[in-house]
Amino acid sequence: MSNIYGRLDKIIPKIKEDKFIDGRGLGNEISFYVFDYEPQAELIVRDYVEHIKKYFTYEGTDRKIIEFDLYKLLIEITKEKQFLTEFFRWKSDKGKMPFSRR
């Protein structure tokens, strides 16, 4: 976990690069990055995300930071599609979960 701070310190300079906004990647797509980290670093990363959002919150910035919580999105989708209801119904009928650890 010692290198988490070094990795986090690279985020703001990356976002500030013009090519990040201009989409100068292979397909000239909208730039986005996924930042993976160990679960133990969760609170450090949460604090840093707040720092990033504050850093880019000023009048005249051409950067807008949008935070997506993939866990919350997944829960919303499963509720909307009623996957959880179906799963628990299946579990009560069948007993053992199909993807339980062995």
Confidence (pLDDT) at 68: 83
At 61, is the secondary structure helix, strand, or coil? coil
Query: Do residue 6 and residue 42 come from a single domain?
Result: yes
Closest CA to 75 of 92, 87, 93: 87
* Residue-wise burial string across 69-91, b where 16 or more C-beta atoms lie within 10 A, e elsewhere: eeeeeeeeeeeeeeeeeeeeeee
35 and 58 housed in the same domain: yes
Regions of the chain where pLDDT drops below 70: 1-2, 23-29, 31, 91, 94-102
**pLDDT of 17:** 85
Count the neighbouring beta carbons within 10 Å of the beta carbon of residue 48. 20
Domain span at 78: 69-102
Same domain, 12 and 58: yes
What confidence score (pLDDT) does residue 102 get? 44
Q: What angle do CA 50, 22, 52 make, to 5 degrees?
A: 10
> Do 11 and 56 lie in a common domain?
yes
What's the one-letter identity of residue 29? E
Residues 8 and 42 in one domain: yes
Do 55 and 73 sit in the same domain of this protein?
no
State whether 63 and 18 are in the same domain. Answer: yes
